[in-house]
Structure 1
Amino acid sequence: MSTNRRRFLLAATALALPGLASAQAKNPSPAPLPVMQVWKDPNCGCCHDWVERLQAEGFTVQVFDTGNTAMRQRLGLPVKYASCHTARIGGYVIEGHVNPREIRRLLAEKPDAIGLAVPGMPVGSPGMDGEVYGNRRDPYDVLLVQRDGTARVYASYFKS
């Protein structure tokens, strides 16, 4: 390599480094997600599919194949928001087929709430989707459950 070319590459690298450091300071790596604990029935296929979706999205999941109803009650989530599995992450309850995107949003925003819920088992929600369901997508809401037991819509899916 010629001396001039070597000098050019060194100069170009030196000029780029401050910009790279500045970009990293503005966009630091996201904090690692806390471990999610999930309580579910051992024979529930949609719960298993939901856990796999979370893992594919970078969540670390610890699964307990029992105690869903008892854990929901212990964590203070009203039964009217019940689904087939209950989870806990970052101090929040996640009930049912909540999209990983909304869980990340919850952890970033940190609202004063019990957590998120997708009551029932709506077809088209994560774990309740795909060919086995005929690729059907029913509209549903992700609810932010407040500490007083009320809820508001946090996100809506497949609504016109």
Structure 2
Amino acid sequence: MFERMFPKMCAAAVPCVVLSAVLIVTGCAPEAEAENRENAEHTVLADGGTGDATLAAAIADAPTIKVYKSPTCGCCALWVDHMREAGFELDVEDTLDMVGVKLDAGLPLQLQSCHTALVGDYVFEGHIPADVIARFLAEAPSARGLAVPGMPIGSPGMEFGDRVDPYDVIQFDAEGSTSVYESR
């Protein structure tokens, strides 16, 4: 279905994760476009600006982020590239048991996407921009984590030309309560 909707984007859909026994999310992003993109909105730069310097410091101080992803998911690999380009240190583990990772992390079903990242007690699910993760880590709220449910076009790793669909970054707590942390 995804290939019919976006024939230029994918020659074939790449499985990203089985969210449950019934729901499978698939997708990919054009690697050639991703290699050439320079999206300042999704990149954290320490250029001397107060906000950027604060975010750069949060990234520099952040512990290594453990990322779990499917070994065949191109969009997850592009998100990993996005995070590394922003300055985060990542420990990436390819796994076929993404459902188990998400269950162990206590991630509510409605917030699930393709890859899951863990740092300290926080969970980061899906295509969250690096600057949003940096700000969240700097603020250190008493939340469980952040999620970008689904795979919105234009989010890091899901670039498709100039198209950017609006999406919300959702904050959630251990009880499953949610709120919009930021809209993009």
- Verify same fold: TM over 0.5: yes
Q: Which has the higher contact order (CA 8 A, sep 6+)?
A: 2
Q: Are 1:108 and 2:135 an aligned pair?
A: no
Secondary structure (helix, strand or coil) at the match of 1:128 reads: coil
Pick from 149, 162, 166: which aligns with 1:119? 149
Asked if the contact 1:112–1:147 (Cα under 8 Å) also holds between the matched residues in 2, the reply is no
Pick from 57, 71, 77: which aligns with 2:107? 77
Structure 2 counterparts to residues 1-160 of structure 1, below 5 A: 30=57, 32-66=61-95, 67-129=97-159, 133-157=160-184
Deviation at 1:75, TM superposition (A): 1.1
Number of equivalences: 127
> Could you tell which deviates more after superposition, 35-44 or 62-71?
62-71
Letter in 2 for 1:69: V
TM-score, normalised to structure 1, is 0.75
Gaps of 5+ in 1: 1-26
Gaps of 5+ in 2: 1-53
Deviation at 1:136, TM superposition (A): 1.0
TM-score, normalised to structure 2, is 0.66
Secondary structure (helix, strand or coil) at the match of 1:87 reads: strand
Find the structure with the greater CA-based Rg: 1
Coordinate RMSD, CA, aligned? 1.5
Higher helix content, 1 or 2: 1
Distance in 2 of aligned mates of 1:34 and 1:42 = 23
